[in-house]
Amino acid sequence: MSQSGQAIQSSDWETVVGLEVHCELRTQTKLFCGCRNAFGDEPNTNVCPVCLGLPGSLPVLNEQAVEYALRIGAALRCRAQRSLFHRKNYFYPDMPKDYQISQYDVPINIGGWLELPSGKRIGIVRAHMEEDTGKTTHIGGGGRIHQAGHSLVDYNRAGVPLVEIVSEPDMRSADEAREYVEELRAVLVAAGATDGKMEEGSLRVDCNVSVRPQGSTDLGTRCEIKNMNSLRSLARAVAYEAERQIELISNGGRVDQETRHWDEADARTHSMRSKEEAFDYRYFPEPDLVVLDPGPEWVAAVAASQPILPAERRARVAGAAGVPASSEAVATVVRLELDGIIGAAVMANADAALALRRLANEVAGELAEGDKGALDADAFIGLVLMEQQGELTSAQARTVLKVLVAEGGDPKVIAVRLGFEVMAAGALAEVVDQVIAANQREWARYAGGDDKLAGFFIGKIKAATGGNADLRAATQLLQQRRAAQEA
């Protein structure tokens, strides 16, 4: 089915993405020994015979790590089961035993799903436990092991507990892949299992990308992409790889199953190893550990202590504000962990929909990612109340909010400082009557039903008050005067 002669049309193709996310658990100690699990300590200080794989040492499973793995499974709606550890055998200097203890065909969690803010559910194949490797720094040779002059290995990370979450190939774009990782991260953090710090490697993502003609239900040949260090590089790598494959196929080529390396500087993927060169890991059951069977009681206890997850928080916000749970404003507010303010607003009889709009638009825009939660909820709600009661125009409220987010403080004080004198209802009525008296011809037309003239009067009122009028109140007054005249 040659496509030669036709222009390459990306829109004729569908991108298919599945992700493997490695999540470091925030246990006190490592997976199989009592060494401290900490990031950033002096190299090779958190080590012992077990995590260094010294001859004669044996692993003992960390119960807290199992608890976190179960919590992750529960949060991803997986089924927990009696599971096994296997050895994954390959040589690498940062792996002390030259095998990794991992779970293979009988993992602790299987078959769940993660709901994205869009409402789409991404299938979860499994969420299994394994140990992390050490960290190698290759000196010279462009940072690759075979060209390096020498390499330094830090075994502090060796044996740190990981849960690897493998998705179904359910994502259809780079953005969706990114959305999945963002949502997954929020769920893992909510479950208390990880700190979710991508920059410290607490969350590491590999992706499988394939393409297929739009409408096809068969999966194309996939490539696995490694070495993406941020959400941004994930999205870029997926987009690049999909384009590469589309172009390859469109030019009569064929995608080979292989592992590819994302090069951030080059913004391209490079072939690392082909399917033929793939390691034979020689998995077999780890004889130094016994079967891991959490049992129904432990699983039930974890289910009972399940924290509130982002999807439920979105539903709550959506319910309070009367908007769809899939709306972007809801997702933004929950992602920035501002949804508690919506709940507080409802309790304070503030307009939840207005609060949501202000949080999703103005506050989200102002808040830098790292400063979330810095907004004073009471002050914010006070401001929403001022706006909804007509003490401030929406333009004024937005200006006050900007100051509130940047500097904090009392919205009433800020409003005064900005010269947003709140006009008493009586004073406004006086201005309205003066404007009507001064513009009798226009008034007659407005009173006769020509609504276009409302804008004319509002403009006059605005000018007469120096912009300090509550325009909604002014509009109401105009309507009242017209109704009185008709009566």
Partner 1 sequence: MTSVVEMAAAVRRGELSAVAIIEQHLSRIDQDEADIHAFNLVMADHARARAAEVDGMVARGEDPGALAGVPVALKDLICTRGTPTTCSSRILEGWVPPYDATVVSRLTEAGAVFVGKTNMDEFAMGSSTENSAFGPTRNPRDLSRVPGGSSGGSAAAVAAGFAAIALGSDTGGSIRQPAALCGVVGVKPTYGMVSRYGLVAFASSLDQIGPFATSVADAALALDTISGHDEADSTSLPTDSARARENLGRGVEGLRVGVIAELAGAEGIAPDVAARIREAAEALAASGAKVEETSVPAVRYGLSAYYMIAPAEASSNLARYDGVRYGLRKPGADITEMYMATRSAGFGPEVKRRIMLGTYVLSAGYYDAYYGKSQKVRTLIIRDFEEAYRSFDVLLSPTAPTTAFELGTKTSDPLTMYLSDICTIPSNLAGHPAISVPFGTGDDGLPVGAQVLAPAAGEPVMFQVAEVLEAAAAAKGGGR
Positions that interact with partner 1 (CB under 8 A): 49, 52-61, 87, 89, 91, 93, 96-99, 145-146, 151, 153, 280, 282-284, 287-290
CA distances from 258 to 220, 262, 270, 307 (A): 13, 13, 10, 39
The Cα–Cα gap between 253 and 49 comes to: 51
Q: Taking a C-beta distance cutoff of 8 angstroms, is the pair 261, 270 a contact?
A: yes
16 three-state secondary structure: strand
Beta strands in 275-324 (DSSP E): 284-285
Residue with tokens 């929403």, as numbered in its chain: 384
The token duo for 389 is 């009661």
Tell me 360's DSSP state.
I
Q: Cα-Cα-Cα-Cα dihedral of 313, 335, 319, 359, to 10°?
A: 140
The token duo for 400 is 């006050």
Residue with tokens 């939660």, as numbered in its chain: 373
Tell me phi and psi for residue 408, to 5 degrees: 75, -175
Q: Taking a C-beta distance cutoff of 8 angstroms, is the pair 97, 288 a contact?
A: no
Other Cβ atoms within 10 Å of 303 Cβ, number: 13
- Whichever of 52 and 354 has its CB closer to partner 1, that residue is 52
Residue with tokens 């508690």, as numbered in its chain: 340
Q: Taking a C-beta distance cutoff of 8 angstroms, is the pair 429, 409 a contact?
A: no
- Cα 305 to chain centroid distance, Å, stands at 23
